[in-house]
């Protein structure tokens, strides 16, 4: 899973980029053998239960309607499933903004002069902790290096959302160690994800009907 030069090679550590996890789940699903149908790029917008037929009808943004015997709401903190079954309002902003980027390890090795790129006993490739801000760099498998920066803010509307994510990240982490600026500048702006960090209060039961 990890490159031979990664210190995570041949270990049980399993921090993965989401797309690598998605691929691993697909490969183990039996999809290729015709056991499971996987539909990507499909946005769920609504659903309803049909108790007579014992099914759930799923309505997607493209107008498609799919019937299923089971619906699992693993669709994020803005979950449509949770909105209808739990109805506990909007997600809670935690006061943290985050920026995330991914690049090829081969490109990383050309621009970052750290040999070897390894942790100093803390289990993380590289972590930089500052005043209300953090920056991490990690091997995420399949020849990729990922970085994540976080900063504390009162609300997610702290800046111009129309500005490129790399421009905002460079401003947030101005005067930090050179490796931070190097990695942000070396990552394609369109590949940098900027978002608020949200949370939800835990619930004891999910289901359209009590006990389901």
pTM over 0.85: no
- How far apart are the C-alpha atoms of 94 and 152, rounded to whole Å? 9
| Cβ pair 151, 96 in contact under 8 A | yes
pLDDT digits (tens, 9 = 90+) for 50-103: 989 999 999 999 999 999 988 888 888 888 998 888 888 889 889 999 999 988
Q: Which residue has the higher pLDDT, 68 or 143?
A: 68
**Highest mean pLDDT: which range of 14-28, 49-63, 65-79, 159-173:** 49-63
Q: Look at residue 195 and tell me whether its pLDDT is greater than 50.
A: yes
DSSP of 50-115, one letter per residue? Answer: ETTTTEEEEEETTS-EEEES-----S-TT-HHHHHHT---SPEEEEEEEEEEEEEHHHHHHH---S
Whose tokens are 């053998």? That residue is 33
**Highest mean pLDDT: which range of 24-38, 79-93, 121-135, 143-157:** 79-93
């Amino acid at each position: 899973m990890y490159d031979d030069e990664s210190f995570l090679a041949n270990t049980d550590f399993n921090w993965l980029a989401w797309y690598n996890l998605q691929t691993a789940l697909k490969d183990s699903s039996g999809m290729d053998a015709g056991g499971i149908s996987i539909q990507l790029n499909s946005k769920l917008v609504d659903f309803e239960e049909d108790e007579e037929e014992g099914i759930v009808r799923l309505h997607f943004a493209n107008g498609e309607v799919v019937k299923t015997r089971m619906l699992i709401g693993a669709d994020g903190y803005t979950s449509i499933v949770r909105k209808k079954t739990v109805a506990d309002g909007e997600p809670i902003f935690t006061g943290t903004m985050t920026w995330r980027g991914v690049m090829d390890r081969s490109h990383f090795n050309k621009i970052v002069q750290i040999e070897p790129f390894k942790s100093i006993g803390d289990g993380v490739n590289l972590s930089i902790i500052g005043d209300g801000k953090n920056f991490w760099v990690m091997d995420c498998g399949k020849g990729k290096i990922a970085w994540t920066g976080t900063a504390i803010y009162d609300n997610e509307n702290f800046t111009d959302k129309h500005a490129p994510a790399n421009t905002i990240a460079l401003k947030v982490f101005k005067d930090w160690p050179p490796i931070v600026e190097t990695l942000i500048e070396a990552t394609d702006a369109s590949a940098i994800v900027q978002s608020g960090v949200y949370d939800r209060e835990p619930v004891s039961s999910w289901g359209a009907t009590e006990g389901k």
